Structure 1
Amino acid sequence: MKRLISIFTLAIALFTVTFSNPAFAADAAGGAKIFSANCAACHAGGNNVIMAKKNLKKEALAEYGMNTVAAITTQVTKGKNAMPAFGGRLSAAQIEDVATYVLAQSEKGW
Structure 2
Amino acid sequence: MKKLLMRIFAIASALFVSLTPVAFAANLANGAKVFSGNCAACHMGGGNVVMANKTLKKEALEQYGMYSEEAIIYQVQHGKNAMPAFGGRLTEEQIRDVAAYVMDQAAKGWAG
Determine the C-alpha separation between the residues in 1 that align with 2:21 and 2:58: 32
RMSD value, Cα: 1.3
Cα offset, 1:66, TM superposition: 0.6
Aligned to 2:61: 61
Q: Identity of counterpart residues, as a percentage?
A: 65
Instruction: State the structure with more CA Rg.
Output: 2
Determine the C-alpha separation between the residues in 2 that align with 1:71 and 1:81: 15
TM-score normalised per structure 1? 0.83
TM-score normalised per structure 2? 0.82
Unmatched 5+ residue regions in structure 1? 1-10
Number of residues paired by the alignment? 97
Cα offset, 1:18, TM superposition: 3.5
Cα offset, 1:78, TM superposition: 0.2
Unmatched 5+ residue regions in structure 2? 1-11
Cα offset, 1:28, TM superposition: 1.1
Aligned to 2:21: 21
The 5 A counterparts of 1:86-105 are: 86-105=86-105
